[in-house]
Every structure is written in C-alpha cells, then in structure tokens.
Structure 1
Amino acid sequence: MTARYAIAVGRFYEDLAARLERGARAAFAEAGVEDVDTFDVPGAFELPLAAKYLAESGRYAGVACLGAVIRGETDHYDYVCAESARGIQAVQLETGVPCAFGVLTVANMEQALARAGGDKRDQGRHAAEAVMAMAAIRTQLP
C-alpha cells in the first residue's frame, strides 16, 4: 500500500492551476502513488489554511500546494507571495506533515507558462516530488 497525498490548488489562474496539477499528478503516478485527492481554493493566499486542514486531518503523508501569483502594479503581489510561502512553511513545521510550496511567483504570464510544464520547469511536478521525498524521510526513521 502506498501513501496517500493531497494537492491543494489555488485556482485564481485556472489555466496555470490545471497545468500545475497535471504535473503534480504525473509525478505521483510515475512514483506509483494512486491515492491523490485534489482540493481547490480561490488563490495562493488561501493555500496555507487548506494545507493546515489537510495536514491535521491525519489522512495524508504530504500536501503539494500549487498556485500562481503574477506581479501587478501594486504591492499586493509581495504580500500574497510572502504570506503564502510563510504560511505553508509554518503548517509543515507545526504539523510535521510535508507541505511543498509549488506556487509560481513570477513577473508575467510568459514566465508562469514556462514554469508550469513549459520549457523552464514544471513546478507542479517539482512540488509533488519534494513532498514525496520529505514524506519518505519519515518512513526511514526508527
């Protein structure tokens, strides 16, 4: 029996969210993980609370948090990026359940597409791989 994982996806940029989720699901499938549940949230700012709910449920070995924040004309970008990263990190440190930060923090849509399964990297895949790697450490401890 393999571990069960969760994906929390900020859907503010739906196309990017779908691409990130595809990448994460592909990584889980390639690792032989069949039991993956997806939970949608409005955007990146809501990911930490979703991760906390999922981590505290006791059902998941880890949570891949996915989303995108694209810089605009105001400081909103800085706050959302910082607080979503800080919140996701806090959840994993408080609960001991790995939570990967698979949130694109980019200047424009071109950069986002390149990092959501485009020519640069697949951040969804990377988040799933990271959360599985961290969960594996737990199983190796006496």
Structure 2
Amino acid sequence: MATIEGTFKDSSDLRIAIVVARFNDLISNKLLSGCIDCLSRHGIDISETSDQLDVTWVPGAFELPIISQALARKGQYEVVITLGAVIRGDTPHFDVVASEASKGIAAVSRETGVPIIFGVLTTDTMQQALERAGIKNNLGWNYALQALEMGSLMKALK
C-alpha cells in the first residue's frame, strides 16, 4: 500500500500565486500578512525580485475565481491562494457573493488541475472576521500551510 502525502519541508521549488480581495481590506491585509509570514518561514522567497511568489489584487471576493483561473491557466504556479472576507449584512448580498466565490474557486481548481486554496472568510460580523484574521488566530497562516501541502502533494503525484 502506498501512502502519498504533501509536506511542508522543501518548498524551495514551489511557485505560488496569491489573489487578494480588496473589499474588506482591513481583514484581507491581515490574512495576506499571515500567509506571507508562513510562506517565508517555510522557505518561499518573498523578496521583491522573487520568482516564487506573486500577489494579485482584485476588487472583491466575487472576482477571485476569474483571476485565479487566469493565473492557473498560465501554467506558472503549482498552487493559488485566494484571500478575502465576506461579512454578512442586512441584505442577501452576502449569500450571493459567498456562494459564487466558493463555487467559482472550486470549479477553477477542478477545471485547471491547479489547487486553489479557499482563504475567504465568511462571517456574520466584523468581530468574527477580525478574530480569524489575527486577534485570536490568523487563518492566513493556515491557508499558506494548505498551499504548501497541496503544492508538494501535486508534485508527488506527477
């Protein structure tokens, strides 16, 4: 029986793209900071001249799938991380954006074969989002770990 798993140890050859939603940037900037910190501590070159990491900004979570798709289709990245926050309000807008962002990101991953990490917080309140983006725990770190694991797992499957 073969056991195939991703690791976090040797990330020196992974190319990663991060797509960040600007809407609710108080949250998405914190997620990005946690994500980059984790990637850096696991050997990803995050310098301005790095060819391992690219960060792209989009207006909001609804736009994450189309840009993730464009980046995945380029064939330059082993994994794409999406970051953003959709916070419930008084209208159904939350349900539409959260649903379409999640479905779109999943579809892009299946269609391209490139793992797309869903790092979009979907919370009822700003306080909940802040807690998940750094007050209690920065989930950006977790999304980076998922990316490292999936990137190495995809390489192991080749």
TM-score by length of 1: 0.95
1:90 counterpart residue number: 107
- Is the partner of 1:113 in helix, strand or coil? helix
Q: Is structure 2 residue 120 aligned with structure 1 residue 103?
A: yes
1:30 counterpart residue number: 41
Deviation >3 Å, runs of 4+:
none
Q: Which runs of 5+ in 2 are unaligned?
A: 1-11, 46-51
For 1:115 and 1:66, the matched residues in 2 are separated by 12
The alpha-carbon deviation at position 115 of structure 1 amounts to 0.3
The alpha-carbon deviation at position 4 of structure 1 amounts to 1.1
Further displaced range: 129-138 or 66-75 = 129-138
Q: Which has the larger radius of gyration?
A: 2
Alignment of 1:41-120 (within 5 A): 41-119=58-136
1:128 counterpart residue number: 144
For 1:5 and 1:129, the matched residues in 2 are separated by 12
For 1:136 and 1:94, the matched residues in 2 are separated by 19
Give per-residue Cα distances to partners, 1:75-127, cap 9 Å, x unaligned: 110011011001101111111111000001001110000001221x3221111
Counterpart contact for 1:23–1:124, Cα < 8 Å: yes
Code of the residue aligned with 2:44 in structure 1: it is V
What count of residue pairs does the alignment treat as equivalent?
Answer: 141
Task: Kindly indicate whether structure 1 or structure 2 has the higher relative contact order, using CA contacts under 8 Å at least 6 residues apart.
Answer: 2
- Is the partner of 1:59 in helix, strand or coil? coil
TM-score by length of 2: 0.86
Identical aligned residues as a percent: 43
For 1:91 and 1:128, the matched residues in 2 are separated by 19
Code of the residue aligned with 1:138 in structure 2: it is M
